Every structure is written in C-alpha cells, then in structure tokens.
C-alpha cells in the first residue's frame, strides 16, 4: 500500500496534476464542476493526504513548531508543554518536543535540528544557570535564522525577544509579605540557583518585602538550592538551626523537601513551622498539609506561547512585546498566624 500521490489521482481522473492540485487547494481558476467533483471523489476513494515534506519544501511552511524544554517530566514544564501542544493542535500545528535536560548544548543542537526541519517557529525555555557556554551561540542562531520564536518562562532582562514569563519578583514579594502579615519575622528563604534570573527575582521579592516591613535582612537565613526536593531537605536543616518560624521555598518541590525535613525533626506544620512555596503544581494541594503557594498559570503560559509564535508567523513584523503573567497567592494550610495584623491572616489547624 504505497501512499497515493497527486499523480495517481491525476491519472485516474484523466486530468493533469495541476488540475488536481488546484481543486484540492481550492485555487480560484473556475474549474468545471464536473472535473472538480471527479477529482474530489477519487481523492477520497484513494484516501489521499498530501505529503507534507513536499508541501513544506515548496511552500516554505510546515505548520510545525519546535518546543525546547529543560525537563518534560517536571510537572511545571509538563503543563507548559501540554498547554502549548493543545493550543498548537487547535491552530493546526504539530510540535516537535525537545528535552534538553537543562543543557545549553542541547538547546543549540535542537535548535539547529528544528531549523533543518523547517519549523515555522520555535518556543524556547532556555537551559542553564546563567553563565552557559552554548547559550550565546543559541541566541545568535535564533537572531539570524529569521524565524518566529518566543522565549518562555526563562526570559532575560532587557532582551529584545518576545518573552513570556511571570512577575517572579512580585511573586516572591507576595509570598514573603503574606508570611510577614501572619506575624513572622524570622523567615528563611530557600532560593533557586541565583544565576538564573527568575530565581534571583523571587529572591529580590523576598528582600523587598522584608525591607518594606522594616525587618532586617539576614544573609544567614538565605540558602541557595537547585529546585530539587533534596535541596529542600538539606537546606531546611540549617534553617531550623537558625530558629526560623517560617520558610519561603522558591518552588513547591523544595517546599516538599522542607515538609520532609520538618517531619524528621518532629516539627509540625504549620504549628511549628510555616511554609510558602512557588508554582502551585498539581500535587501541592494534596500534601499532608495542603501547601500555601504562589501560582504560576503554566497551562495558560504554554498556550500563550504558541498563540504568540503563530501570530508572529502570520505577521512577521509583529511587535515583540513582553508578556508578564501575574503571580497569585493560593492560600491553603501551611501557614500559621503567629500574631500579625489580621488582614491576610488565616486561622486553621
């Protein structure tokens, strides 16, 4: 069963391939209704589907988008990808998924591969920790390749690209401020890698909330992690020793780690320790004590990313603005009011 081609149809219909192509593509050349019907009928009978390689080669349009992501098994990125993929399908695009394991070298390799495959646009969640070897090359290629692309989540400050991200600083602020409003003064912070801008911004939000409340910043209360559960476990330990009453974990995974460390130490949450996370991944709601956290709308962000690339594809001089999603506090049960002002407070547990 070879695939049927336009040529097969032409032969059976006794017309030229030009005619077949035209009726199948609805070209306006007033083709007689008779041959039009005949061609369509035969095409259906033969279950004709155009070879997209050939179409792409000639039209320079593949209806294909590349999605480069650090770790698809990470729930946050998984939702980003899902949002993107679903929206792409709605808009008639297929997506190439590229998993980089946070290696900028793979960013570059994949970008090349995508370009070689003629994708119409690419969505990039850049790998790495800030000072990456291949990152500059990757962006250079992006600049020169004339393709539509958007930087998702891990945008750079002041860059000239269409970037989609969250107000991470605002998120860090809200999280810390909420803790402060609940009477906490000795607040630990487990950050992500500070070389990554988003991590740094969350940390800045923490600093700013402290400062605004007139609480003296203490560097000993800040620990740099790497967004893994294990970091939460380890770094929480040293924070416990400093007698913090609350911890702002810069992602939910590390917050889970804190839960675990607390359990081991016999600390009850939120009675003995309050926690706020960041991301609001699906599982946060189902932890032993449902986690209060800052929500990132991952699904919508992924969706937005493909909408933007597609807009750029259809309109090459589309304005490359920045799209900043709003962080949102999701109040659950991991924070205890230990005597702050009443607004924003919440008694439970």
Partner DNA sequence: CTGAAAGCGCTTACAG
- Residues at the contact surface with a copy of itself, assessed by CB under 8 A: 1, 3, 49-54, 56-57, 62, 64, 67, 71-75, 78-79, 81-82, 85-86, 89, 94-99, 101, 106, 110, 112-118, 144-146, 229, 256-257, 259-260, 263, 282-283, 286-289, 299
- CB atoms under 10 Å from CB of 158, counted, come to 5
Q: Please give the residues from 56 up to 85 whose contact with DNA meets the rule CB under 7 A.
A: 57-59
Half-sphere exposure of 53 (CA within 13 A, CB side): 3
Structure tokens at 125: 């969640």
Q: What angle do CA 130, 151, 62 make, to 5 degrees?
A: 135
**DSSP H or E stretch at residue 104:** helix 104-116
Number of residues that bind DNA (CB under 7 A): 30
Q: Which of 12, 17, 260, 323 binds DNA (CB under 7 A)?
A: 17
When asked if residue 46 is in the footprint of DNA (CB under 7 A), the reply is no
Query: 197-212 vs 168-181: helix axis angle to the nearest 10?
Result: 40
Task: Name the phi and psi angles at 160, rounded to 5.
Answer: -95, 15
Distance CA 276, CA 255 (A): 7
When asked if residue 22 is in the footprint of DNA (CB under 7 A), the reply is yes
Distance CA 316, CA 314 (A): 6
When asked if residue 24 is in the footprint of DNA (CB under 7 A), the reply is yes
Picked from a copy of itself, DNA, none, the partner binding residue 113 (CB below 5 to 8 A depending on kind) is a copy of itself
When asked if residue 54 is in the footprint of DNA (CB under 7 A), the reply is yes
Structure tokens at 127: 């790998």
Smallest Cα–Cα separation from 302: which of 272, 280, 323, 321? 323
Task: Name the phi and psi angles at 326, rounded to 5.
Answer: -90, 135
Smallest Cα–Cα separation from 205: which of 70, 74, 329? 329
Supply the minimum distance, in Å, between the C-beta of residue 94 and DNA. 17
When asked if residue 113 is in the footprint of DNA (CB under 7 A), the reply is no
When asked if residue 34 is in the footprint of DNA (CB under 7 A), the reply is yes
Picked from a copy of itself, DNA, none, the partner binding residue 17 (CB below 5 to 8 A depending on kind) is DNA
Supply the minimum distance, in Å, between the C-beta of residue 27 and DNA. 6
Picked from DNA, a copy of itself, none, the partner binding residue 59 (CB below 5 to 8 A depending on kind) is DNA
Q: Which is nearer to a copy of itself, 117 or 322 (CB)?
A: 117
Supply the minimum distance, in Å, between the C-beta of residue 302 and a copy of itself. 10
Q: Which is nearer to a copy of itself, 114 or 335 (CB)?
A: 114
Picked from DNA, a copy of itself, none, the partner binding residue 238 (CB below 5 to 8 A depending on kind) is none
When asked if residue 314 is in the footprint of DNA (CB under 7 A), the reply is no
User: Residue 318 in contact with residue 286, Cβ under 8 Å?
Assistant: no
Q: Which is nearer to a copy of itself, 83 or 128 (CB)?
A: 83
Supply the minimum distance, in Å, between the C-beta of residue 315 and DNA. 18
Q: Which of 12, 40, 46, 55 binds DNA (CB under 7 A)?
A: 55
- CB atoms under 10 Å from CB of 92, counted, come to 8
Q: Which is nearer to DNA, 16 or 230 (CB)?
A: 16
DSSP string, 54-79: HHHHHHS---EEEEEES-TTSHHHHH
Burial of 329 (0-12, 13-18, 19+ CB in 10 A): middle
Residues making contact with DNA (CB under 7 A): 2-3, 5-7, 14-19, 21-22, 24-25, 27, 29-32, 34-36, 50-51, 54-55, 57-59
């Amino acid at each position: 069963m070879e695939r049927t081609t336009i040529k097969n149809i032409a032969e059976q219909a006794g017309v030229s391939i030009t005619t077949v192509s035209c009726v199948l593509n609805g070209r306006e050349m007033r083709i007689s209704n008779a041959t039009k019907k005949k061609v369509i009928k035969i095409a259906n009978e033969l279950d004709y589907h155009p070879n997209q390689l050939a179409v792409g080669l000639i039209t320079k349009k593949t209806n294909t988008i590349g999605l480069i992501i650090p770790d698809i098994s990470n729930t946050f990125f998984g939702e980003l990808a899902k949002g993107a993929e679903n929206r792409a399908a709605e808009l008639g695009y297929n997506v190439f998924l590229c998993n980089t394991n946070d290696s900028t070298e793979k960013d570059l390799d994949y970008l090349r591969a995508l370009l070689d495959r003629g994708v119409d646009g690419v969505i990039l969640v850049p790998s790495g920790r800030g000072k990456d070897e291949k990152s500059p090359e990757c962006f250079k290629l992006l600049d020169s390749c004339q393709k539509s692309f958007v930087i998702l989540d891990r945008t750079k400050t002041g860059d000239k690209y269409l970037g989609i991200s969250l107000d991470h600083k605002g998120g860090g602020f809200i999280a810390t401020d909420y803790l402060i409003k609940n009477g906490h003064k000795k607040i630990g912070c487990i950050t992500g890698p500070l070389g990554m801008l988003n991590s740094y911004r969350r940390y800045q939000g923490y600093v700013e909330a402290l400062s605004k409340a007139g609480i003296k910043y203490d560097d000993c209360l800040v620990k740099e992690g790497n967004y893994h559960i294990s970091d939460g476990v380890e770094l929480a330990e040293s924070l416990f020793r400093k007698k913090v009453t609350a911890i702002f974990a810069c992602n939910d995974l590390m917050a889970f780690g804190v839960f675990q460390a607390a359990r081991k130490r016999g600390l009850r949450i939120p009675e003995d320790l309050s926690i706020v996370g960041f991301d609001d991944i699906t599982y946060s709601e189902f932890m032993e004590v449902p986690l209060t956290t800052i929500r990132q709308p991952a699904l919508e962000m992924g969706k937005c990313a493909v909408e933007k690339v597609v807009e750029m594809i259809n309109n090459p001089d589309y304005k490359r603005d920045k799209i900043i999603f709003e962080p949102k506090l999701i109040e659950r049960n991991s924070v205890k009011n230990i005597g702050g002002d009443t607004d924003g407070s919440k008694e439970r547990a």
